[in-house]
Amino acid sequence: MQSIKKNLTLLCKTIKMIFNITGRNFYFVVILTIGTSLTSVVSVLLFQQLLNAIELKKSLLEEICIMLFIYLGFNLFSEWLNNISSYFNGKLRLLLEYKINFLLIEKSSLLSMRDFENSDIYNKLTRLENEVGYRPFQTFQALLGIISACVTIISSSIILLLWKPYLIIILFLLPFLSLFYYLKIAQENFKIHFERSNSEREAWYISYLMTHDFSFKEIRMYGLRNYFLNRFWRLKQRFRDQDNGINKKKMIYGFIFNTIQDICMGVVVFIAVISAFTGKLLIGNVATYIKSISMVQSNSQSLINSIYQLYESNLYMELLDEFLNLEIETVDSNKIKINSIDEIEFRNVSFSYDGSKNSLENVSFRIKKGDLLAIIGVNGSGKSTILKLICGLYTNYSGEILINGIELKRIDHESYRKCISVLFQDYLKYEFTLGDNVSVGDTSNMNDPEKINKTLEMANVTFLKDGNKSYQLNSQLGNWFDDGTQLSGGQWQKVAIARSYYREASLFLLDEPSSALDAISEKHIFESFFKLATNEISIFITHKVEIAKHAGKILVINNGAVDGIGNHSDLIRNCDVYRSLYEKDQIDSNSSMVSN
């Protein structure tokens, strides 16, 4: 009982959601569905009158011809109605697909980093995204199918009730008994698909690796083709076995119930034929009863299929409802808006990604406008985590992060992020034009060719200049679209650096900005960055002491904790970790010179 109540509640939510998306089109399509369902019954009754008139021979030929033309005209009208209904159904399908896809993307854009790192939320999003192209409309179609089947069954049953009332028990008992079993199968099917969300993501990922250029070289050189193909095949084989198991159960239940139902229908048709043979029924009535029985039978099965489909789709819509109603960070009108960042201070900040081991432990430092801070440490020491916390991507830290003396959690994040320009280590390679690739750094000012050219110069993107030594801002980058130019890793990084320079920010953050650059490009990038840092707060992450030593302040991170802070000279004297990094740099530099 509780399950029925839950499903009815969810169905009401689904109908409300579909109505909110489609508006008046919803009512119009429902009315068309009812109309097209009634036409089939009316057509049967008109045909009955025509046959009876011919059999009894009491009507004039002209009257019979009129009946024939009415019958044919009504059938033509019915076809028109079906065509109109198909058009509006298609229109509604596109609207539902677009709107719900948009709602998914919109909601995803509001999620936090923690949400994306939550496997449960990510599984839901993957499932929703995979089925958004057909599930919402399938739900609506199932709803229309139920309405259509009910209208046809009720109208056909009225005809049969006027003949043999007891037939209704025979006609309806089996379909509704079979419904119970089909709903159990639907629940099992949904459970299987939900539990294999992780495996489906893995199959998608393998397919993605095999069909995109970025992975081609390693797959070819390491001979990974067969390994990935076999892994993909094993996953898909398991999915196929599970789906075949569900389909087999549906086939068995269908075979049993349809056989029994056909026997019952055969008995009813036999009664009608005998009645006609003994003169108790006219041929037109017999045809009507047989057609009505057939319509009740076929629409009973359609009703079961539609309810099964609705139940299955309802489970999807439940996921959609849960996802769209996930709690997100709301805009608090009481939060403080800022228009510049003049000072950043960490006070005993600790942070953990998974709630167990801390990635940062009691980190404290302070930096103000005009300062250039280098954060240095070995891989995995916590450097990038500090940058993410400064960006406000995580708020579940302990301690205090003060911006202009105000706790970061009290600041309006939208106004705060407008003050920041950042280059992440895993920067995006936008398959856009060169101009768009740079100007997305500040969407409030995307049409400034002069500024775009200036930032491209600062980032040393000279390789994209044409013969006239000017940038073709409309040139397509990447190879996903026509006439694109694929770039190397270092070239993509320079474009990303230009994007970070494009924003008018008061805080610049660069995470390993030279990881893919040669020595000459690295020198040029940091020279331009140091000039940029003169009047703003600038922070960069590196593992090279040769670069870090140019910063006025250097923060040394080791195992998530601050191991030292000061300038190059101070740290060489007082910080063992920094000194060991410096000595390693010297050894690497000497080795490089010898090898050259």
pLDDT digits (tens, 9 = 90+) for 303-321: 878 877 777 777 777 788 8
CATH 3.40.50.300 domain locations along the chain: 335-419+539-596
Q: Shortest CA distance to 538 belongs to which of 415, 340, 367?
A: 367
Contact (CB, 8 A) for 12 and 129? no
Name residue 538's amino acid: S
- What pLDDT score was predicted for residue 39? 87
- What pLDDT score was predicted for residue 367? 93
Per-residue pLDDT tens over the stretch 414-472: 889 889 988 888 888 888 888 888 888 888 888 788 888 888 888 888 787 776 677 88
CATH 1.20.1560.10 domain locations along the chain: 2-324
214: pLDDT strictly greater than 70:
no
Q: Shortest CA distance to 475 belongs to which of 458, 454, 505, 495?
A: 495
21: pLDDT strictly greater than 70:
yes
Sign of CA pseudo-dihedral 543, 546, 548, 553: positive
CA dihedral 317, 318, 324, 330 (to 10 degrees): 160
203: pLDDT strictly greater than 80:
yes
Share the mean pLDDT of the chain: 82
42: Cβ contacts below 8 Å, ≥ 6 apart: 74
Longest dimension (CA), the chain: 120
Q: Shortest CA distance to 451 belongs to which of 435, 429, 466?
A: 435
542: pLDDT strictly greater than 80:
yes
CA–CA distance, 64 with 565 (Å, rounded to integer): 103
316: Cβ contacts below 8 Å, ≥ 6 apart: 127, 128, 131, 135, 139, 190
CB burial readout 409-425, b (16+ within 10 A) else e = eebbbeebbbbbbbbbe
Which CATH fold would you assign to the domain 335-419+539-596? Rossmann fold (3.40.50)
Most confident of 3-17, 45-59, 105-119, 365-379: 365-379
Which CATH fold would you assign to the domain 2-324? ABC transporter transmembrane region fold (1.20.1560)
CB-side exposure of 217: number of CA atoms within 13 Å? 1
pTM equals: 0.67
- What pLDDT score was predicted for residue 217? 64
CB burial readout 473-490, b (16+ within 10 A) else e = beebbbeeeeeeeebeee
- What pLDDT score was predicted for residue 1? 41
Q: Shortest CA distance to 430 belongs to which of 420, 443, 417?
A: 443
Q: What average pLDDT does range 495-506 have in this prediction?
A: 87
- Residue 299 phi/psi, 5-degree rounding, is -75, -25
Please give the C-alpha separations between residue 370 and each of 373, 403, 539, 551, in angstroms, as whole numbers: 10, 15, 11, 11
Q: Find tokens 């083709």 and name the residue.
A: 225
What's the count of helices (H) and strands (E) in the chain, helices before strands? 20, 12
What the block records as the tokens of 9 is: 């509640």
427: Cβ contacts below 8 Å, ≥ 6 apart: 492, 493, 496
For the chain, how far is it from start to end, CA to CA, in angstroms?
79
Name residue 509's amino acid: L
Beta strands at 343-351 and 398-403: parallel, antiparallel or unpaired: antiparallel
What the block records as the tokens of 23 is: 């508006």
Helix (H/G/I), strand (E/B), else coil: 214: helix
CA–CA distance, 33 with 148 (Å, rounded to integer): 6
- What pLDDT score was predicted for residue 594? 44
Per-residue pLDDT tens over the stretch 268-293: 778 878 887 787 778 888 888 888 87
Residue 317 CB burial class (10 angstroms; 0-12, 13-18, ≥19): buried
401: pLDDT strictly greater than 90:
yes
